[in-house]
Every structure is written in C-alpha cells, then in structure tokens.
Amino acid sequence: MKQILPALSFITILFFSVMGLSFAAEEHGNQTLKHAQLAWQHGKKGHANVLTEHAESALEHAKASKKVHSDAAAHMGEAITHLNAAIEHGKMGHADVATKHTKEAIVHIKAGNKIMLHKK
C-alpha cells in the first residue's frame, strides 16, 4: 500500500500536467486566431496601426502555442513569420501588404489549431 500511493500520486500529477499543457496550447491557439482575425479585419479597413496591435498580440500567443504543442509547431512557425511581416508592414503604414500577411498567418493558425484539437 505504501508503494501504491506514491505511484498513484505521480500518475495523477503527470496526467494533470499533460492536460494543463494541452489546455494552454489550445487557449493560446484560440487567442492567436482571435487577434489575427481582428488584425485582418482592421487591415481591410486600412487601419494599419490597429492591425499592428492585434498582430503583435497574435504573435505572442503564437509563440507560446508553438512552445507547448510540438505537433503544431510547423504551422505556428509559418504563422509567426507572416505575423512578423504584417507587423513590419503595419508599422510602415502599409495596411494592404500587412493584411495579406495576416490572412496567410490565419491559414497557418487554423491548420495548427486543427492539429492541436485532433491530438488531444
């Protein structure tokens, strides 16, 4: 009995740790998509400064998601590349180019999120 309790405790802690990481990755993925979509919507309206703000938020969540969910890392890496480009162009006032990069980031974010949902 004394040997079973530590083993059960370890298994329980491991289980909740893995579930917590899965939830964290999914939440970051959702926030990445939300902010990227808001950036894209503002970019279509020519609001380069607001696009930049949302793209920066999306970028932070994409980086966090990439760290905790290795299966989606390739897509999140591509999203990060496009979000960085969107931020760069948004800061220069190039809403049209930034919007195109944001739209491409959304494609990769959705693909990464789909992988995360199927790996649960």
- pLDDT for the residue numbered 115: 82
For residues 77-87, give the mean pLDDT: 97
CATH 1.10.3720.10 fits 25-118, yes or no: no
Stronger pLDDT, 29 or 13, i.e. the higher one: 29
Identify whether the C-beta of residue 91 lies closer than 8 Å to the C-beta of residue 101. no
Dihedral, CA of residue 101, residue 102, residue 103 and residue 106, to nearest 10:
120
Complete DSSP assignment for 105-117? HHHHHHHHHHHHH
Q: What are the structural domain ranges in the chain?
A: 25-118
pLDDT at 15 over 50: no
Q: Is the overall model pTM greater than 0.85, yes or no?
A: no
Stronger pLDDT, 64 or 13, i.e. the higher one: 64
pLDDT at 19 over 60: no
